[in-house]
Amino acid sequence: METLLENTQLINHTAPKINTLLDHEWLDDNGIGGYASSTIVNCHSRKYHGLLVAALKDTSDRYVFLSKFNERLDYDEQSYLLNFHYYKPGVFIPFNEEEILPLSFDFDKRNQWIYKHKDFHLEKELQMVNGENTVLLKYSIKTKKKNLSAIKLNLKPLLAYRSFHGNSYQNDNINLDCAHGDNYCSISPYQGLPEIKFNFNNKAVISPHPFWYKNFLFKEEEARSYDANDDLACPANFEFELKAGEDLYISISVEDSVTEAKQAWQEESKRRERFSNQLKQTNKIKSLFNGSKDFIANLNHAAQKFIIKPSSNSTDRHPAKHSFASDVDTKKVGTVQSTSSVSKDKEDFLSKSNHNDEYSIIAGYHWFGEWGRDTMISLPGLLLDTNQDDIYKKILRRFLNYQQDGLIPNIIGSPPAYNSVDASLWLFWAVQQLETNTGSNKWIKEEFWEDLKNIFIAYSTSNTDKLRYQENGLIESGTEQDSLSWMDACLDGSSVIPRRGAIVEINALWYNAVCYTEQLAKSFKDPIIDKATEIKTKIEESFTKTFYIPEKKYLGDFYNEAKLNQQLRPNQLLACSLPFSPIDIKIAQEIVEACTQKLLTPFGMRTLTPDDVNYQGHYQGDTHSRDRAYHNGTAWPWLLGPYGEALLRTSSDKTQAKKTIKKIIGNFEQHLSESGITSISEIFDGDSPYQARGCIAQAWSVAEIRRLALLVS
């Protein structure tokens, strides 16, 4: 095998424009948790980028199998590279932007790159196959010139074969032998991991040529102080002759059986067209402002990327950072770790569930998995008014089947993690939203009433470290290590924000759940109504007394050890926005005013006021710096949902309130063509210019902006 020299002396002449282009990322998903993703110039800036990132069965991780292609076009005795690579110590190859053919990127229907030569245009398109770990590429030549000279496309597949949380390094355990013919090539790099198969509709000249490319550098990981280097293995070179009018289709897959590339492309294209038409027919969101038609269509499509049929029964939030290709000190390189050890509760669940008919939500791309809190907050905004109520219910059921002592898991993993007190309470809200949309509660009685009662009873009788019901009707939660609320960032084993005791939004959610239990019990003539009414009355007597600060005209954040934390945070908005509110309208108006003045930004609600000594206006730097800022100033788009709903409820001028909300929604129109293209980022800086940060596509960010659009359309 050959190795690219580690210490090649190169001078970086690349213009600053490339760094800007690296901030724009695309992503295509396969509906089971896998994806393809990179920057628009296909220069990876994250270890999570890859051309084929697969969600395998019976494992809780996702794997980067094919990192990328090295793409070169040969025409008229000249060669043109089609993508950039970034190497340590900070060198782009090619050196200049001019060495790449002029490029445009179109994401309206599918990911499409158009390379413009004076004699022709090369169009490249990409889509993943729904339900499969298969990615498809299509290359086409468009020209008006007659007698075009031969155009050859040279592709070098660069394999990573690692966890998407890990890094790959050159090692001697890899096997790069190829089995190939005119229209296919297959490689089995590591024992225990699936074979990768390349299929082509046109003849390929395949030249086996094992080669290691070393020291790829991920700019985003470097900025986050993570291991930012990757070595990639090239098994062979693929060469094709491209002709006008003859499209080249390529299928790359780790599935056992693979559909012929052109047929797979046509079938997936038809499926996407059908689904797009379905979304158009069911969509009730009207134009919100001039030019918003495409924005709404993109928002609706963005919502669907988070709905998955899980390929396995678990997705860990913080899986072990294991890299098969870097594990060179053991003979077990490439073997999938056993997932046979599961809890008794999980075994019971597995035995009674039909996993082929399960659905769930990915909390965010690239690195998040199935999170209970995020799922419940996201469900209405992602699925209402899309004619997918059945999928909505199946997602509720998936999490309820894991319910333990009243808690649904914050993370579905091996084993599930029950470190969220509010996830189960958000589930009540998710059920409420669907009931409002359907206009009926019959389905609740038939499918979910016993589950809701069990959660209510568990919360109203609990006395554990995680959850403690109090005589005044409020609930306390949290330990020194974990607040169990959504503001759950930890440093060195302790919570960044010590939110324990009676937490304001958890008790607002609890009050809403109690009132909803009472309402349903009355409808279903269930005697549990008496207990619900008793607790509701207690909360009404204690909530305002516990949290309201008259001189500041807002609610404190949490009450612990006879002391009220008086920082102004957005969590109190839930006391105004939920269907049942424990405060009167005057206090609710004061809260909305305070949050508007101190917390509202164009892209989200700050998590802390700028005048607070703990405020961090920028989310950047190493892990410690980012975790300190995560809930201490960083702005979150999902919080605009509670804010907008609270504004609508408390405003005396509903027309003006709707105009304000529409303006907020409109702020995201440009964002959908930036950062994570066609989606909404997880977080933004609290300070101007409000830089997008975190995940490039976050379920509850998209969901709550879309739900706001439904509310004001």
* pLDDT at 4 (0 to 100): 37
Sorting pLDDT into bands at 50, 70 and 90, what band is 386? very high
Least confident of 327-331, 361-365, 540-544: 327-331
Both 247 and 379 in one domain: the answer is no
Which domain, by its residues, includes 311? Answer: 283-287+297-315+351-712
Q: Is the pLDDT of residue 106 over 90?
A: no
Sorting pLDDT into bands at 50, 70 and 90, what band is 483? confident
Is residue 337 a part of any domain in this protein? no
Q: Tokens 């994570």 label which residue?
A: 676
- Boundary residue ending a domain (222, 253, 279): 279
Is residue 322 a part of any domain in this protein? no
In terms of average pLDDT, the best of 403-417, 466-480, 580-594 is 580-594
The upper half-sphere exposure of residue 547, i.e. CA atoms within 13 Å in the direction of its Cβ, equals: 32
Is residue 292 a part of any domain in this protein? no
* pLDDT at 318 (0 to 100): 32
Q: Is the pLDDT of residue 413 over 50?
A: yes
3 state DSSP class of 659: helix
Q: Is the pLDDT of residue 323 over 70?
A: no
Say how far apart CA 182 and CA 238 lie, in whole Å: 10
* pLDDT at 216 (0 to 100): 97
Tell me the two tokens of residue 631: 């809930």
Q: Tokens 């009050």 label which residue?
A: 511
| 246-255 confidence digits (pLDDT tens) | 999 999 999 9
Beta bridge partners of 127: 136
518 Cβ contact list (under 8 Å, min separation 6): 529, 532, 533, 536
Q: Which residue has the higher pLDDT, 371 or 321?
A: 371
Tell me the two tokens of residue 112: 């499409």
Least confident of 105-119, 325-339, 420-434: 325-339
DSSP letter for each residue of 451-474 = HHHHHHHHHHH-BSSSEEE-TTS-
Both 72 and 207 in one domain: the answer is yes
Q: Which residue has the higher pLDDT, 352 or 44?
A: 44
* pLDDT at 147 (0 to 100): 87
Question: Can you list the alpha helix ranges (DSSP code H) found in 191-260?
Answer: 219-223
Sorting pLDDT into bands at 50, 70 and 90, what band is 169? very high
Both 303 and 212 in one domain: the answer is no
What is the chain's length?
Answer: 713
* pLDDT at 492 (0 to 100): 82
Averaged pLDDT of the chain: 89
| 528-545 confidence digits (pLDDT tens) | 999 999 999 999 999 999
| 32-78 confidence digits (pLDDT tens) | 999 999 999 999 999 999 999 999 987 768 999 999 999 999 999 99
- CB neighbours (10 Å) of residue 559? 19
Number of domains making up the chain: 2
Average pLDDT over residues 131-136: 97
Is residue 343 a part of any domain in this protein? no
Say how far apart CA 363 and CA 375 lie, in whole Å: 7
* pLDDT at 355 (0 to 100): 53
* pLDDT at 414 (0 to 100): 80
Is residue 187 a part of any domain in this protein? yes
| 632-691 confidence digits (pLDDT tens) | 999 999 999 999 999 999 999 999 999 999 999 999 999 998 899 999 999 999 999 999
Question: Which DSSP helix (H) or strand (E) runs through 135?
Answer: strand 134-142
Both 491 and 558 in one domain: the answer is yes
3 state DSSP class of 308: strand
Q: What is the 3 state secondary structure string of 61-103?
A: CEEEEEEEEEEEEEECCEEEECCCEEECCCEEECCCHHHECCE
Say how far apart CA 238 and CA 240 lie, in whole Å: 7
Question: For the chain, how far is it from start to end, CA to CA, in angstroms?
Answer: 61
Angle, helices 504-524/529-547, rounded to nearest 10 degrees? 160
Both 439 and 521 in one domain: the answer is yes
* pLDDT at 312 (0 to 100): 53
Percent of the chain with pLDDT over 90: 77
Average pLDDT over residues 437-443: 96
Both 454 and 306 in one domain: the answer is yes
Average pLDDT over residues 5-27: 59
Both 72 and 195 in one domain: the answer is yes
User: What are the distances in angstroms from CA 362 to CA 317, 382, 395, 411?
Assistant: 11, 11, 11, 11
Q: Is the pLDDT of residue 617 over 60?
A: yes
Alpha-carbon 175 to chain mean position: 33
Both 274 and 303 in one domain: the answer is no
Both 210 and 311 in one domain: the answer is no
SS3 content of the chain, % helix, strand, coil (to 5): 35, 25, 40
Sorting pLDDT into bands at 50, 70 and 90, what band is 117? very high
Both 493 and 552 in one domain: the answer is yes
Q: What is the largest CA-CA distance in the chain?
A: 87
Q: Is the pLDDT of residue 12 over 50?
A: no
* pLDDT at 345 (0 to 100): 39
* pLDDT at 21 (0 to 100): 79
Question: Which CATH number fits the domain that encloses residue 541?
Answer: 1.50.10.10
Q: Is the pLDDT of residue 495 over 60?
A: yes
* pLDDT at 109 (0 to 100): 62
Q: Tokens 């509202």 label which residue?
A: 600
Q: Is the distance from CB of 602 to CB of 635 less than 8 angstroms?
A: no
Sorting pLDDT into bands at 50, 70 and 90, what band is 406? very high
Eight-state DSSP code of residue 329? T
- How open is the CA angle 459-461-467, to the nearest 5 degrees? 50
Eight-state DSSP code of residue 272? H
Sorting pLDDT into bands at 50, 70 and 90, what band is 475? very high
* pLDDT at 611 (0 to 100): 97
Sorting pLDDT into bands at 50, 70 and 90, what band is 335? very low
Q: Is the pLDDT of residue 445 over 60?
A: yes
Closest CA to 43 of 17, 63, 10: 17
E-only strand ranges, 488-591: 490-491, 494-495, 502-503, 548-549, 554-555, 558-560, 563-565
- CB neighbours (10 Å) of residue 565? 17
Question: Which DSSP helix (H) or strand (E) runs through 692?
Answer: strand 692-693
Say how far apart CA 616 and CA 630 lie, in whole Å: 8
530 Cβ contact list (under 8 Å, min separation 6): none
Average pLDDT over residues 695-709: 97
Both 357 and 479 in one domain: the answer is yes
Sorting pLDDT into bands at 50, 70 and 90, what band is 332? very low
Both 144 and 74 in one domain: the answer is yes
Say how far apart CA 176 and CA 173 lie, in whole Å: 10
Is residue 395 a part of any domain in this protein? yes
Sorting pLDDT into bands at 50, 70 and 90, what band is 79? very high
- CB neighbours (10 Å) of residue 38? 23
Is residue 242 a part of any domain in this protein? yes
Is residue 320 a part of any domain in this protein? no
- Boundary residue ending a domain (253, 279, 305): 279
Average pLDDT over residues 265-273: 96
Question: Which CATH number fits the domain that encloses residue 98?
Answer: 2.70.98
Percent of the chain with pLDDT over 70: 91
